[in-house]
Amino acid sequence: PGDRVFLCQTVSGSYAEYGTVNECYTHPLTAALDFKQGAALGVPYFTAYRALCIKAKIQSGQSLLIHGASGSVGIACIQLARSRGLTVYGTAGSQDGLDLIKKLGVHHAFNHREEGYEKRIMETSKDKGVDCIVEMLSNVNLQKDLDMVSVNGTIVVIGSRGNVEISPRSIMAKEANILGVMLWNSSEEEMQETVREVVKGTESGELVPVIGKEYTLEEASQAHFDIVNTKSSTGRLVLIP
Amino acid sequence: PGDRVFLCQTVSGSYAEYGTVNECYTHPLTAALDFKQGAALGVPYFTAYRALCIKAKIQSGQSLLIHGASGSVGIACIQLARSRGLTVYGTAGSQDGLDLIKKLGVHHAFNHREEGYEKRIMETSKDKGVDCIVEMLSNVNLQKDLDMVSVNGTIVVIGSRGNVEISPRSIMAKEANILGVMLWNSSEEEMQETVREVVKGTESGELVPVIGKEYTLEEASQAHFDIVNTKSSTGRLVLIP
């Protein structure tokens, strides 16, 4: 009792000043992070860990493209990939987003609203393509990812808002791997590993959530509107009770 | 010299009575198989082995759906999966095809031209879906596969003849794995394993190519026409010099 904790699952809901949560879903919040950052930790960092380390099994020395890097999961992927020794490509849709991801350590930053950015990514990779891509908006980008991934490379599908047309021949020609991620499918062992590694990263200072806009609890519906309609993100939106 | 061999790659082309082939691409043809069957061995069985054993890493006890099972790669997949202890679902587009795949040991056969066959496949799997699907016509079937694959299941893309619209949310929700296969991307070690295991299977009698229609060399262009335009296959088409 009295411990500072963060969580990613509640019994009573988290749009609240107080809440009930099963003890096994609470995790120690390192002193270096405030509660706003704690609120931005659970789902994004656990998802990033599952995508990169459990699904894609990233290795030091590989290249990673974060397609949509300035949102909360993207930021978590940047920090995780940097901590594991990858070369990190990232995209954002605004100058603020680009400034943010560069500050967070992306090696190669691209504006995904600029014509021809895919070509510049390929040139940067010396036309080999990138070893791994994490994709936040698959309905728009999945075929572009198939064009940019390396032979035997991996695309991890984290987000999508609709259907997409693709050419399965691109999957065959490169022997690409497309893997879906859904945090709630984690086995108990995987979840334990995920929590352990994320907590370790917060304690070492490598994983530090970035807060975007803050809202009062009364503004919750506005926050939902904004997350769907804002063209470029710069960190996690949080509700402050 | 004088050894009976089969091959899957030549220097001078294989639409011929005699040909030049690099020794490393010739493999011993077991006495139980005739030369027609030898001609039907290389690409289909090597591709099936790569799809099931190297990419999908099938395990005894799993369920496998061969979406398009009466063609040469599909037949190779049936025999390989049966030899490894899987429960095999197969589809074909004609009564001849269905008779053939049942004779070859498919546990559950479905006509993919019949309305609602996907639903019957799901019912047969007790609505769990199948652990692995090999897909010969991804432009038509990829979304159906995403609907029929189990949670954390694998879809291996072997063939496609155009684009397809899919919902990436299906990939996420089930944490599905979509893997491309292209035989020519094999590493030297993978190719050695592939040849060794296929030769072993022909010698044990578990892998036995099925010949569909036979053509003379002069009819080669007709064979190409038929393979694209025939609605249902029943084994490998071969040219007889």
Q: Quote ipTM for the complex.
A: 0.94
By the CB < 8 Å criterion, does B160 face chain A? yes
Higher pLDDT: A234 or A124? It is: A124
| 3-class SS letters over A49-91 | HHHHHHHCCCCCCCEEEEECCCCHHHHHHHHHHHHCCCEEEEE
CB contact under 8 A, A177 and B181: no
CB contact, 8 Å: B140 with chain A?
no
CATH class of B44-184: alpha beta
Among A164, A179, A194, which would you mutate to test the B interface (most chain B Cβ atoms within 10 Å of its Cβ)?
A: A179
DSSP symbols for B72-114 = HHHHHHHHHHHHTT-EEEEEESSHHHHHHHHHTT-SEEEETTS
Asked which of A77-81, B16-20, B103-107, B109-113 is least confident by mean pLDDT, the reply is B16-20
Q: What is the pLDDT of residue A233?
A: 85
Mean pLDDT of A74-87: 98
User: What pLDDT is recorded for position A46?
Assistant: 97
Domain B5-43+187-240 in this protein, CATH class: alpha beta
User: Is B73 in CB contact (< 8 Å) with chain A?
Assistant: no
- By the CB < 8 Å criterion, does B179 face chain A? yes
pLDDT, chain B, mean: 95
Measure A235 CA to nearest chain B CA, in Å: 22
CB contact under 8 A, B171 and A138: yes
CA dihedral of residues A216, A32, A59, A48 (deg, nearest 10): -20
Helices (H), B167-237: 168-173, 188-204, 220-229
Asked whether the beta carbons of residue B168 and residue A55 sit closer than 8 angstroms, the reply is: no
* Per-residue model confidence as pLDDT tens digits over A174-203: 999 999 999 999 999 999 999 999 999 999
**Does B178 contact A177 at a Cβ distance shorter than 8 Å?**
yes
Structure confidence at residue B233 as a pLDDT band (50, 70, 90) = confident
Give the nearest chain B residue to A135 (CA atoms).
Answer: B168
| Confidence band for A228, pLDDT divided at 50, 70 and 90 | confident
Residues 6+ apart with CB under 8 A from A78: A66, A69, A88, A90, A101, A104, A105, A106
Task: Give A28-48 pLDDT, tens digit per residue.
Answer: 999 999 999 999 999 999 999
Q: A178 vs B174: CB contact, 8 Å cut-off?
A: no
Strand, coil or helix: B138? helix
- Which pLDDT score, from 0 to 100, does residue B79 have? 98
Looking at domain A5-42+188-239, its CATH architecture is: Alpha-Beta Complex (3.90)
Which chain B residues touch A152 with a CB distance below 8 Å? 185
Nearest chain A residue to B161 by CA: give it: A169
Instruction: Look at residue B164 and give its three-state secondary structure.
Output: strand
**Contact B51/A at CB under 8 A:** no
pLDDT bucket at A232, cuts 50 / 70 / 90: confident
Give me the residue from B162, B168, B179 closest to A157, CB to CB. Answer: B168
Q: How far apart are CA B118 and CA B58, in angstroms?
A: 22
- Are domains A5-42+188-239 and A46-184 of this chain identical in fold? no
Contact B168 A164 (CB under 8 A): yes
Reported as a pLDDT band with limits 50, 70 and 90, residue A49 is: very high
**Per-residue pLDDT tens digits for B152-200:** 999 999 999 999 999 999 999 999 999 999 999 999 999 999 999 999 9
Contacts of residue B172, Cβ cutoff 8 Å, sequence gap at least 6: A157, A158, A159, A160, A180, A181, A182
A162 contacts: CB under 8 Å, gap ≥ 6: A139, B167
Which residue ranges make up each domain of chain A? 5-42+188-239, 46-184
Provide mean pLDDT across the span B190-216.
96
pLDDT of residue A231: 76
Nearest Cβ partner for B168 among A138, A152, A167: A138
pLDDT at A113 over 80: yes
Half-sphere exposure (Cβ direction) of B32: Cα atoms closer than 13 Å: 12
Tokens of B53: 């054993």
In the CATH scheme, what is the homologous superfamily, with its name and number, of domain A46-184?
Answer: NAD(P)-binding Rossmann-like Domain (3.40.50.720)
What pLDDT digit, counting tens, does each position of B70-96 carry? 999 999 999 999 999 999 999 999 999
- Flag whether residue A64 sits within 8 Å of chain B, measured between CB atoms: no
Q: How confident is residue B115, by pLDDT bands cut at 50, 70 and 90?
A: very high
pLDDT score of B126: 98
Between CA B201 and CA B204, with CA B202 as vertex, the angle to 5 degrees is 65
Confidence category of residue B228, pLDDT binned at 50, 70, 90: confident
Is pLDDT of B52 > 80? yes
- The 10s digit of each residue's pLDDT in B58-69 is 999 999 999 999
The confidence score (pLDDT) of residue A4 equals 95
> What is the C-alpha to C-alpha distance for residues A102 and B211, in angstroms, rounded to an integer?
60
Residue with tokens 């559950």: B108
Instruction: Describe the crossing of helices A95-103 and A72-83 by its angle, rounded to 10 degrees.
Output: 30
> B137 CA to chain A: closest CA distance, Å?
9
Element (H, E) at B8: none
Lowest-pLDDT choice from A142-156, B3-17, B160-174: B3-17
- Residue B9: the pLDDT is 87
Highest mean pLDDT: which range of A20-24, A150-154, B19-23, B230-234: A150-154
Query: Quick check: A165 and B165 CB within 8 A?
Result: yes
- pLDDT at B231 exceeding the cut of 90: no
Please give the Cα distance from B149 to B138 (Å, whole number): 14
Query: What band does B2 get if pLDDT is binned at 50, 70 and 90?
Result: confident
How far is Cα B30 from Cα A68, in angstroms, rounded to an integer?
Answer: 55
Kindly state whether B142 is in contact with chain A, defined as any CB-CB distance less than 8 angstroms.
yes
